[in-house]
Amino acid sequence: MVSTKTQIAGFEFGNCLMNAAGVACMTIEELEGVKNSAAGTFVTKTATLEFRQGNPEPRYQDVPLGSINSMGLPNNGLEYYLDYHLDLQEKEPTRPFFLSLVGMSPEETHIILKKVQASDYKGLTELNLSCPNVPGKPQIAYDFETTDRILSEVFAYFTKPLGIKLPPYFDIVHFDQAAEIFNKYPLKFVNCVNSVGNGLYIEDETVVIRPKNGFGGIGGEYIKPTALANVHAFYQRLKPEIQIIGTGGVLTGRDAFEHILCGASMVQIGTTLHKEGVSAFERITRELKDIMLEKGYDCLEDFRGKLRYIGSIYLKIRRKEKRCSPLKKVSS
């Protein structure tokens, strides 16, 4: 029987699909909707230390081939999402979820992570190094020296499963430089990619979002080639202990298949989820399973990372992987 089960950091998930932080995850009601859908898990809105209103409206616009947004990190604050996670741990102790977070400064990031470290939270934490839409705040992950310093400081005290969300990189040397830094630390995953910033979308003679005079992050179909390139580049370069979550341009089961083919262990859905709602998880899962069945694949490990190159037979370049090996659930 075809299975889309997967695992990250030893945690088992019944499906490889989930939401992307920023979509259907602001409130507990939205998170419950994702949790009770065909998705394997959810990630919260990226939490800051305190509640943030975010950028002024309109700040998100669906467009024909995707979306443009400049949200500005609106969220209900760390305690809101952390308390919800702790409550879920009591109600559903065998099901893992993701908590996304970032500070508005390196100092605040450490305050947040130390709160999580001191709590009873047992799930996975995503440190968002890629938010491009806060005026005056650069994307941390484009500054390799700062990224290295922050990770060094974080892992001096943070011992729970931690991964990072990344902006897209475009130069091969940047993949090399970033991977060299990430491989120094006990990261559990990297999430590739956040929206591609900064774009403009114009209707008639006017931009469609208000913040930053219309500049915003681009998502949806526009960015799939960039997302796939980032997933595969990091799959080639990162040590096997650091898994990949693929995000960007996932409209169909074929798109999810390509992310996994490039090396993703899980796949996040953003723009399509915003346009279609949580029913997208069931449809895309069904389409992915149909492709797997047609190709004779029983599980994700049959094809994950096995992208073929023109003019050569496929060579496994990164790791030996057991074919459809049973997943072991980690007790935390």
Contacts of the segment 307-316: beta carbons below 8 A, 24+ positions apart: 307/232, 307/261, 307/262, 307/263
The answer to whether residues 38 and 177 touch, using CB atoms and an 8 Å cutoff, is no
Query: pTM of this prediction?
Result: 0.94
For residues 69 and 238, give the distance between their C-alpha atoms in angstroms, rounded to a whole number: 30
pLDDT of the residue at 332: 39
Domain 6-54+72-195+220-302, classified CATH 3.20.20.70, yes or no = yes
The answer to whether residues 55 and 211 touch, using CB atoms and an 8 Å cutoff, is yes
The pLDDT tens digits for 107-117 are 999 999 999 99
The pLDDT tens digits for 193-233 are 999 989 999 999 999 999 999 999 999 999 999 999 999 99
Catalytic site residues?
131
The pLDDT tens digits for 6-27 are 999 999 999 999 999 999 999 9
Strands (E), 9-79: 11-13, 17-19, 60-63, 66-69
- Residue 192 scores a pLDDT above 70: yes
The pLDDT tens digits for 26-77 are 999 999 999 999 999 999 999 999 999 999 999 999 999 999 999 999 999 9
The answer to whether residues 42 and 97 touch, using CB atoms and an 8 Å cutoff, is yes
| pLDDT band per the 50, 70, 90 thresholds, residue 331 | very low
Radius of gyration of the chain (CA): 19
- Write down the domain spans for the chain: 6-54+72-195+220-302
Sequence length of the chain is 332
